Amino acid sequence: MQTTDLSRFRNNDYHPGASLLKRASWHMISAAFLNSRFPGNGFKIFLLRLFGAKIGKGVIVKPSVNIKSPWLLEVGNYSWIGEHAWIDNLVRVRIGSHCCISQGALLLTGNHDYKKSSFDLITGEIILEDGVWIGAKATVCPGITCQAHSLLMVGSVATKPLEAYGIYQGNPAVKIRERVIS
Amino acid sequence: MQTTDLSRFRNNDYHPGASLLKRASWHMISAAFLNSRFPGNGFKIFLLRLFGAKIGKGVIVKPSVNIKSPWLLEVGNYSWIGEHAWIDNLVRVRIGSHCCISQGALLLTGNHDYKKSSFDLITGEIILEDGVWIGAKATVCPGITCQAHSLLMVGSVATKPLEAYGIYQGNPAVKIRERVIS
Amino acid sequence: MQTTDLSRFRNNDYHPGASLLKRASWHMISAAFLNSRFPGNGFKIFLLRLFGAKIGKGVIVKPSVNIKSPWLLEVGNYSWIGEHAWIDNLVRVRIGSHCCISQGALLLTGNHDYKKSSFDLITGEIILEDGVWIGAKATVCPGITCQAHSLLMVGSVATKPLEAYGIYQGNPAVKIRERVIS
């Protein structure tokens, strides 16, 4: 059997989308104001935009949020990013309007090709369409689109796309019923 | 199909149970001494009681614990709150005696009515009766009572009440066997 | 039925493997440089070795890593410890070469005898053989050996040993296929 050799790791010409200076600056600013107990919502939105995020109106960012790359983040109107939510965006993450990312949820954009000895990096953009709810401590895997108003329940792991108005649960998450909004 | 409109979010006359000044003070004190690497157990208990928690004797609070509302918390005697445990108590959480909330566990009291366009807040008190063990990184959902000596295994998600002396596993957690204590 | 009595808790003569002074020093140093947003990889490796960890070459330690006892940690060459990974090593944890512990993963070495009223501590060493990949937010339970090149998928919980080149998913994790590396 072949073996993994991480000394030969290749990241497939991945580029983080910002200069080292910008990334280092964001790392420090994020540690102080976003990924901390600092409460000021408006100032967080200002900082995210300053570093390139496209953010609509009425967006709420709770304390201890971990956003890797604001320059790769788009958020619509009236969406919420919950306490300890983690947007690990090596590549672009697009969040629609009226979405709720609950506390402790994780949006994961980086994977590895575990079939290759060099463990190549594989990235995949995440799209949350309007009205999506990612439950507390739930995880969305790389490359997944969650269609409009889909719902990923508490602690569940979305490894496949979520259909519009579908409610998903488990690890891996499976559709358990339809979401009917009245 | 109807859609979610978070600009019309209603929290159903929810009241956090403390003044803004008290909540802001707790947020800062918690950030410094509870939700931090600060190790002093006795001082943490003192602070929790100062902000209204009812806590018995012999209780242990580990570092990096996140307790939203001490004025809505009751803990019996000789219970343990593990490292990175998160008691997200928008409403009352009652923890009995001889309970163990292991590291990274989450007690979740807030939900949303995903069937309503206004995504109304739904809260539910959590009760852990005596001798309950919530395993590492496990989650208890809003409104759940875990009856005496029930056990929620590592990383599991309790979406329904746990019967006394039942051992539960998975997401959603199901009963896998009885707990016999000798 | 018998009940739990944590006032009679026994830790079975467990010894943390270092003096109180050493543990307190590590707690503070870890809070400042490891379990923080501090980015310097080389300095982290230096600190871990200073406190007794055996660490090979080419190892990468990301920010916000929580390592309880470096004096009980062995890591081979070219292994990665991801952001917010948590090595809760009450006892020895051995990580081979070319392993990847992804972001938010947990290696758990402490358990309790829930069948005893005194809730005795049970510890179990964890071994990750060469080429193992522990996925994001996955958990390895106490006493588990993950054989060479096994893979625990995102958010999964390993409650039993993982076979070499096996891919495991779910809670509890079950083998879903073979890992073939080319």
- Give Cβ neighbours of residue A50 (< 8 Å, ≥ 6 apart): none
**Minimum Cα–Cα distance from C171: chain A residue:** A171
Contact B154 C155 (CB under 8 A): no
CA distance A25 to chain C (A): 12
Q: What is the largest CA-CA distance in chain C?
A: 56
Residue A12 has pLDDT above 90, yes or no: no
Place of tokens 């306490």: A83
Mean pLDDT of C19-33: 97
> Do residue C141 and residue B133 have CB atoms under 8 angstroms apart?
no
pLDDT of residue B21: 97
CA distance A160 to C120: 41
Is C155 near chain A, with CB under 8 Å? yes
Q: What is the pLDDT of residues A33-84, one digit of tens each?
A: 999 999 999 999 999 999 999 999 999 999 999 999 999 999 999 999 999 9
Q: Do C163 and C145 meet the contact criterion of CB atoms below 8 Å apart?
A: no
pLDDT, tens digit, 9 for 90 and up, residues A111-168: 999 999 999 999 999 999 999 999 999 999 999 999 999 999 999 999 999 999 999 9
Q: Which helix (H) or strand (E) holds B45?
A: helix B41-50
Predicted TM-score (pTM) of the model is 0.97
Shortest Cα distance from C119 to chain B (angstroms)? 9
**Given a cut of 90, is residue A11 above it in pLDDT?**
no
Measured CA to CA, the distance from residue A125 to residue A108 in angstroms comes to 9
Give how far B11 is from chain C: nearest CA, Å.
31
> C50 by DSSP, 3-state: which?
helix
Question: Could you identify the residue written with the tokens 């807030």?
Answer: B110
Chain B residues inside the 8 Å CB shell of C155: 155
Instruction: Report whether pLDDT(B1) > 90.
Output: no
| Average pLDDT rounded to a whole number, residues B109-129 | 96
For chain B, what is the mean pLDDT?
96
The chains in contact with chain C, meaning 3 or more Cβ pairs closer than 8 Å, are A, B
Inter-chain contact C148–A114, Cβ cutoff 8 Å? no
The rounded percent of chain C whose pLDDT value lies above 70 is 99
**Domains in chain C, please, with CATH?**
18-178 (2.160.10.10)
Residue B175 pairs with which residues in a beta bridge? B168
- Nearest-by-Cβ selection for C4 from B36, B98, B103: B98
pLDDT in tens, C38-86: 999 999 999 999 999 999 999 999 999 999 999 999 999 999 999 999 9
Residue C153 has pLDDT above 90, yes or no: yes
pLDDT at B96 over 80: yes
**Contact between A181 and B115 using a beta-carbon 8 Å cutoff:** yes
